[in-house]
C-alpha cells in the first residue's frame, strides 16, 4: 500500500473488502491488511464488529448498515460517501459482509470511484453462500449428490423474482441451489421449484446468522419448509440450501456441537491480556466480546517513580522476591531496563510466584522459581514457604497499586522486612466497544468472565458512566464466571450471583468450568 497517501491535496484510495460471513477469523489476509491500515472504515451489520478491534486507534468508524425495517443510508449515499472520503485524501476500507461481488453492489461503488478518478481495489471475501452451509455441516457439493451449484438472490418481490429468475432453467440446472436473503419468500420459492420439476420431498435447510454465535438451522422439505419456518418464527438473515446435500448435516455437524456454541462471553480483562481468554472461548465455539474495563500502565507520579527506583537499587539486599501476577513480572523487568539495573544484582534473592502463569513468565526469562503453592493466591504462597521465611530477611514485592495487603502484612508479622514496589498502576479503561454496551443493555450477553476483583468494580464503574444506573440488575440472569474466591467475594458484594468458579484460579480452569456449566445446562453431563 502507498503509505504516502492522505497528504493534503492528494486523493486517497478505497479498498472494497469482503469481511466474510460473520466469524471474524474468516476474513482474508489481504482484507485484514486493508483494515489495519485504513484511516476510515465504512461497514455494515453483516461484517463482524470484532474486526473493528484491528483498526488504528485514531481510525474513524462509519456504520452504514441496513436493518429489515429501515435503511440507515441509501446505496447512492454510500457510493458518494466513499468518493468524498477519498477526495479528502483518506485511505478508506469499505467493509462488506461475505464477498462484495456476490449481491454486494460493489460494482456501483467501484464505478463511481472510477468516474471520479479514485484508485480502488476489490478484495474478495468468503461468501456466505459456501461458508454458512459449511458451518451447518452441509457441503454445497458432494461427489455422490451434487457436482454443481447455483447462487440466487431471493430478496425480491415475487414479480421481480419471476423477472430475474428463469425458474424453468434454474430449478434443475444444478445439483444444489443456494438462495440468499430469501426467508420472507420461502413459500413462493418452494412453490416455484416444485412447479418446475423439483421433488416435493427435496431437502431444504435454512441457516440464520451462520458462522456466528446466533447461528440457528432448521431443516425440512420443499413441501414442508414454509410451515416449519412459520412455526419456528424464523427470521432473516439466512441462507437457504436446496438439494440432497442437506442430508449430510446429520453426519457432518461440527460447529453447533462445540461446547461453547451459542454462548457470548464478555471478557473484562485489560486489552493486552484479553487475547488468551478470548482465543480459548473462540476455539470452543463461543463468541468472546472483549470489553476491557481496566488499563495497566507505569506510574507517572514522581514520588511513586522514586519509590520504585529506590526499591530496585537495593537489589543485593533482598532474600526474596515475591511475584503475584504476570503484570508484576512484566513491569518489574521494564523498570530494570529503564533504571539500567542488571538482574544479576539480585543474585542473593530466592524467587516465589503465586501461580503457574506468573511462574511461566519468570521461567521464560531464565529464572528459577520456588515450588508453586497449591492455592494460587498470597495465602497459599505464605503457607507453602512458611518454614523458609525467617525473621530479619528482606523481601521485595513488585506489584500493582491495587494489590491486596495480605502478603506484606503477613511477611511483617513473621519478622521480615517487606519492601513494596508498585511497578504498575490500574485504572478504569475509557474506550469500550459501543456494540458490547448495546448487547449488555439488550441482555444479549450470556456470560461475563471476571479475572480479578478490579474487573468487577471497574465494570460497574464503566456501566454507570454509560448510563446503566444498576449494573447488577443489568447483569441479572447472566452467568457470572469468577476466577477465584477473592473475585467471587467482590462480585457477591456488588450484588451479583456467581454461577461458575473453578477449583484453581487459572484461565484454563476458568474456561473448563464454564464448559462444564454449559454442558450441565444442556443436559450433556
Q: In what order do the strands lie in the sheet with 447-450?
A: 287-290, 264-267, 447-450, 479-482, 498-500
Residues 96 and 94: their CA atoms lie apart, in Å, by: 6
Q: Is 381 a catalytic residue?
A: no
Catalytic residue among 23, 39, 99, 181: 181
Strands (E), 355-434: 394-400, 417-428
Angle between helices 485-493 and 453-465 in degrees, nearest 10:
30
Residues 505 and 499: their CA atoms lie apart, in Å, by: 15
Give the pairing of strands 417-428 and 394-400. Answer: parallel
Peptide linkage before 21 cis (omega within 30 of 0): no
Catalytic residue among 23, 39, 44, 99: 44
Provide the CA 360 distance to its chain's centre, in angstroms.
25
Catalytic residue among 10, 66, 401, 508: 66
Q: Is 44 a catalytic residue?
A: yes
User: Torsion angle of alpha carbons 356, 287, 48, 57, nearest 10°?
Assistant: -30
Helix (H) or strand (E) run with residue 245 in it? none
Q: Is 314 a catalytic residue?
A: no
Joined grid coordinates for residue 516: 462444564
Residues 40 and 24: their CA atoms lie apart, in Å, by: 19
DSSP SS3 for 461 = helix
DSSP SS3 for 243 = coil
Residues 143 and 156: their CA atoms lie apart, in Å, by: 32
- Residues involved in catalysis: 44, 66, 181
Amino acid at each position: 500500500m502507498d503509505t504516502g497517501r492522505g497528504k493534503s491535496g492528494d486523493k486517497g484510495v478505497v479498498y472494497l473488502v469482503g469481511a466474510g460471513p460473520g466469524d471474524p477469523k474468516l476474513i482474508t489476509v489481504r482484507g485484514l491488511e486493508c483494515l489495519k491500515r485504513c484511516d476510515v472504515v465504512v461497514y455494515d451489520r453483516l461484517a463482524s464488529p470484532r474486526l473493528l478491534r484491528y483498526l488504528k486507534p485514531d481510525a474513524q468508524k462509519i456504520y452504514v448498515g441496513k436493518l429489515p425495517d429501515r435503511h440507515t443510508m441509501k446505496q447512492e449515499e454510500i457510493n458518494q460517501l466513499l468518493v468524498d472520503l477519498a477526495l479528502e485524501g483518506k485511505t478508506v476500507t469499505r467493509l462488506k459482509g461475505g464477498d462484495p461481488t456476490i449481491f454486494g453492489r460493489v460494482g456501483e461503488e467501484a464505478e463511481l470511484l472510477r468516474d471520479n478518478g479514485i484508485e480502488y481495489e476489490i478484495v474478495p471475501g468468503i461468501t456466505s453462500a459456501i461458508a454458512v452451509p459449511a458451518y451447518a455441516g452441509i457441503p454445497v457439493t458432494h461427489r455422490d449428490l451434487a457436482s454443481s451449484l447455483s447462487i440466487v438472490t431471493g430478496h425480491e418481490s415475487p414479480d421481480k423474482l419471476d423477472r430475474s429468475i428463469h425458474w424453468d432453467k434454474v430449478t434443475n440446472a444444478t445439483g444444489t441451489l443456494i438462495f440468499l436473503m430469501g426467508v420472507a419468500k420461502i413459500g413462493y420459492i418452494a412453490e416455484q421449484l416444485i412447479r418446475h420439476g423439483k421433488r416435493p420431498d427435496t431437502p431444504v435447510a435454512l441457516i440464520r446468522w451462520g458462522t456466528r454465535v446466533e447461528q440457528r438451522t432448521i431443516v425440512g422439505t420443499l413441501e414442508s419448509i414454509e410451515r416449519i419456518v412459520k412455526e419456528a418464527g424464523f427470521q432473516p438473515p439466512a441462507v437457504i440450501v436446496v438439494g440432497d446435500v442437506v442430508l449430510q448435516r446429520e453426519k457432518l455437524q461440527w460447529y453447533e456441537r462445540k461446547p461453547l456454541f451459542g454462548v457470548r462471553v464478555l471478557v473484562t480483562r485489560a486489552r493486552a491480556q484479553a487475547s488468551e481468554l478470548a482465543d480459548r472461548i473462540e476455539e470452543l465455539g463461543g463468541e468472546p466480546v472483549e470489553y476491557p474495563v481496566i488499563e495497566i500502565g507505569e506510574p507517572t507520579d514522581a514520588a511513586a517513580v522514586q519509590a520504585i527506583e529506590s526499591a530496585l537499587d537495593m537489589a543485593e539486599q533482598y532474600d526474596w522476591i515475591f511475584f503475584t501476577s504476570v503484570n508484576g513480572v512484566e513491569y518489574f523487568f521494564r523498570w530494570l531496563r529503564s533504571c539500567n539495573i542488571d538482574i544479576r544484582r539480585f543474585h542473593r534473592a530466592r524467587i516465589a510466584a503465586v501461580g503457574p502463569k506468573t511462574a511461566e513468565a519468570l521461567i521464560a526469562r531464565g529464572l528459577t522459581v520456588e515450588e508453586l503453592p497449591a492455592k494460587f493466591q498470597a495465602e497459599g504462597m505464605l503457607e507453602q514457604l512458611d518454614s523458609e521465611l525467617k525473621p530479619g530477611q528482606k523481601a521485595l514485592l513488585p506489584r500493582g497499586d491495587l494489590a491486596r495487603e495480605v502478603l506484606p502484612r503477613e511477611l511483617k508479622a513473621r519478622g521480615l522486612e517487606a519492601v513494596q514496589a508498585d511497578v504498575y498502576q490500574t485504572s478504569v479503561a475509557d474506550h469500550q466497544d459501543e456494540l458490547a454496551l448495546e448487547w449488555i443493555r439488550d441482555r444479549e450477553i450470556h456470560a461475563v468472565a471476571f479475572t480479578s476483583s478490579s474487573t468487577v468494580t471497574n465494570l460497574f464503574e464503566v456501566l454507570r458512566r454509560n448510563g446503566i444506573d444498576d449494573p447488577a440488575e443489568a447483569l441479572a440472569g447472566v452467568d457470572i464466571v469468577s476466577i477465584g474466591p477473592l473475585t467471587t467475594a467482590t462480585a457477591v458484594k456488588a450484588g451479583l450471583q456467581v454461577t461458575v468458579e473453578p477449583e484453581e484460579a487459572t484461565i484454563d480452569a476458568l474456561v473448563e468450568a464454564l464448559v462444564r456449566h454449559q454442558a450441565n445446562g444442556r443436559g450433556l453431563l
